[in-house]
Amino acid sequence: QDLEKGTYEHYMLKEMEEQPAVIRRILSKYLDEHGNLTISKEVLDQLKASDRIYIVACGTSYHAGLVGKKLFETLTHIPTEVHIASEFGYHMPLLTKSPFFIFLSQSGETADSRQVLVQVADRYPTLTMTNTPGSTLSREASHTLLLHAGPEIAVASTKAYTAQLAVLAILANVLGQSLQNELALSFDLAHELSLVASGLEEVMAEKGQFEELAKEVISDQAHAFYIGRGLDYYVALEAALKLKEISYVHCEGYAAGELKHGPIALIENETPVIALLTEASTLDHTRGNMKEVESRGARVISLVSEQYATEQDTIVLPKVHSLLTPLITVLPTQYLAYYTSLNRGLDVDKPRNLAKSVTVE
Ligand code: G6P
């Protein structure tokens, strides 16, 4: 396995930097000979017949599911709920008449998710989106969509997250097109995903700045916050999880507007607050939230799409389609977690108390 690391010091860094290649590979796997993204007719027909999509997952895959909700609701107008598997299994909400279940699982072996699948598989159509062909969740669901991310060895999931976002976008857009959704019909997703891949390479070329920020702003702190709204909030949740997992810095991902309703009490001198800004309609409000914490002593880092960047912003990110921003914003947060872990002298690839795949409930 060490050989597979090539010139990289850690699997996590290698897997992070494979993300552009993973997106291109996903495109090659899902494009047909006419250059159209395709999903099997059977999956599309069952989804079209459903009145609600239920996405069930754990950990990083759950965070990918949150982005999936936005994609499905925007591109298909099918209401979509996202649930943590360990909650859903024992406290199931009232289901609609014709639910369609999507299980997101890198490993395809997570016991919490399987336990839900076992309960619903006989009654409803199910699809597992996984990186692992032949895995338990893949075998036991009616359908499988593969992530094609290649083996993910670092415990902290990186490329599987972006792969899930890309495959969810493909499924949502192909479904939307077959439902004659106008936005889906005009969305050249293959082209937009290839722009994402190049955008990720631009971010990678500037990784030194994340190494610097991790050292200057985060590594000596006990607590940190990621804030954002909409898709940026969902990425904030994933970013905070990543920082916790491998650097042991306690970090919360918070809806930017909710900070003032409680957690702002925790802001002290030097508390890092990392703001994600990719959405025009909420930009000013989030900038206001940044000022609120700055005036209470926080060290604010902003990660902003280039079309909204000002002189004061810390990191400017390449512009991509507004539904695909999580694929770009997540990479700087992975770098910040990675370098913080290194600065603290920790085992990046094998953090304490965590397992790559959790097969107990
Ligand atoms: C474990 C891993 C996480 C992962 C979660 C769900 O807790 O440490 O990185 O996100 O399981 O795993 P899955 O394979 O179902 O995506």
Q: ipTM value, please give it.
A: 0.98
150: left (phi over 0), alpha (psi -120 to 50) or beta: left
Ligand 1 — pocket residues by CB below 6 A?
58-61, 105-107, 110, 113, 155, 157, 354, 356-358
Q: Tell me the pLDDT band of 38, cut-offs 50, 70 and 90.
A: very high
User: Sorting pLDDT into bands at 50, 70 and 90, what band is 5?
Assistant: confident
pLDDT in tens, 188-233: 999 999 999 999 999 999 999 999 999 999 999 999 999 999 999 9
Q: Which of 5, 207, 319, 356 is catalytic?
A: 356
Q: Is the pLDDT score of 168 beyond 60?
A: yes
Does residue 27 carry a pLDDT above 90?
yes
Quote the pTM value: 0.97
What kind and span of H or E run contains 301? strand 299-305
State the average pLDDT for the chain.
Answer: 97
Using the predicted structure, report yes or no on whether residue 17 has a pLDDT greater than 70.
yes
Confidence of residue 2 (pLDDT cuts 50, 70, 90): low
Write 30-38 long-range contacts (CB < 8 A, 24+): 30/167, 30/170, 31/190, 35/190, 37/170, 37/173, 37/174, 37/189, 37/190, 38/174
Cβ partners under 8 Å of residue 289, min gap 6 = 227, 256, 257, 259, 260, 275
Mean pLDDT of 159-169: 98
Atom of ligand 1 nearest to the CA of 113: 15
Residue 1 has pLDDT above 60, yes or no: no
Helix (H, G, I), strand (E, B) or coil at 227: strand
Atom of ligand 1 nearest to the CA of 132: 14
In the chain, the percentage of residues whose pLDDT exceeds 90 is 98
More confident residue, 360 or 299: 299
Q: Is 260 a catalytic residue?
A: no
